[in-house]
Amino acid sequence: MSHDTRPRGGFGMLMRSLLIQGAWNYRTMLGSGFAFALLPALKRLYGNDPNALARAIERHSEHFNAHPYLAPIALGAIARLESDQVDVETIRRFRTAVRGPLGGLGDTLVWATWLPLVAVCSLVLYWFGVPGWGVVLAFVLVYNVGHLGLRVWGLWLGLDAGRDVGARLTAVDLGSWARRLQGPLVIGLGVLCGAVLSAPGGLSSIGPAWSALAAVAFVLGLVGGHRAWRPAAMATVGAIAFIGLWGILS
């Protein structure tokens, strides 16, 4: 792909990548969304040959999965491979090779670190008495600087590196970014726990027994991990339902 043609196809792919999960399904997962997002590049390459375009769409609609924010890396790299006229089988193997790492890396970096970090900090703002609109604005702005930055950078990296995207990703080491963010997230989590405990209207204002119960519940989550979530949520719903029923019957 020549540098002067990259931005137009790239912008279209970037915009369409926002809809990449639009038709997420259990058969092809992101497959059809991937082809949908790749269309601007494919049209530029095969626009004069409807059959070649249809075959390319068919190829790229096959099963694919990745984290939606990191999928632009694969989009850019594959657009570059298509434009370099790399053979179909190599592109298919490349697609298969990148989907696992892009999924795992995205889940670790975004869902398990960036999102909780921004959410925890926003909740801290709320508990520290910042007005609701300020909390929401801070969350949306900060979160999406990271989100959109990742999408733009990923697409640029893919378009630039093509088949070398793996080596470039290894050099950047996104996994280390996740590890670096975990320290601030732990501090933020501690601040949030302290704020829920001692803020006006928090647990300590209700009574020490509630603080003790919350500490026990915290330890349950700490020990049980994700297995504890659903039982805890359902126990909460059950307790609230019991109180309501008690009110009706008494």
Partner 1 sequence: MTELLRFGVLGGLLGLDGTAVGQFMMSRPLVAGWLSGWAAGAPGLGITIGAILELFLLVSFPTGGARFPEGSTAAVVAVGVAVPFDGSGAVAASVAMGLVWGEVGGWSVTMQRRVNSRLVPTGVASRTGSLGRAHLLAIVTDFLRGAVVSMVGVALGRAGLGVVDARWPVDPSVSTGVLYVGAAVSLGILLHDLGGFRRRRILFVLGLAFGIVGARFL
| CA distance readout (Å), 40 to 71, 86, 98, 206 | 15, 18, 21, 58
Q: Which amino acid is at 73?
A: I
* Interface with partner 1, residue 64, by CB under 8 A: no
Choose between 152 and 195: whose C-beta lies nearer to partner 1: 195
- Polymer length in residues for the chain: 250
Site for partner 1 in 155-214 (CB under 8 A): 182-183, 185-203, 205-207, 210, 213-214
Query: CB-wise, 167 or 212, nearer to partner 1?
Result: 212
**149 touching partner 1, by CB under 8 A:** no
For residue 2, the tally of other CB atoms under 10 A from its CB is 6
Q: Which of residues 24-63 bind partner 1 (CB under 8 A)?
A: 24-29, 31-33, 35-36, 39, 43, 53-54, 57-58, 61
- Start-to-end Cα distance in the chain: 75
Asked if residue 248 binds partner 1 (CB under 8 A), the reply is yes
Please tell me whether residue 247 binds partner 1 under the rule CB under 8 A.
yes
Region of 71-79, 87-95, 126-134, 160-168 interacting with partner 1 (CB under 8 A): 126-134
Report whether 218 contacts 211 (CB < 8 A).
no
- Residue 6 C-beta: closest distance to partner 1, Å: 21
Among 12, 63, 115, 160, binds partner 1 (CB under 8 A): 115
Question: Smallest distance, Å, CB 172 to partner 1?
Answer: 22
> What are the residue ranges of helices labelled H in the chain?
6-17, 31-46, 50-60, 71-83, 88-106, 115-127, 132-161, 165-172, 174-198, 203-206, 208-224, 229-249
Report d(CA 181, CA 189) in Å as an integer.
Answer: 12
In the complex with partner 1, the residue whose CB is nearer, 167 or 237, is 237
> Residue 25 phi/psi, 5° resolution?
-150, 165
Nearer to partner 1, 167 or 233 (CB): 233
Asked whether position 100 contacts partner 1 by CB under 8 A, the answer is no
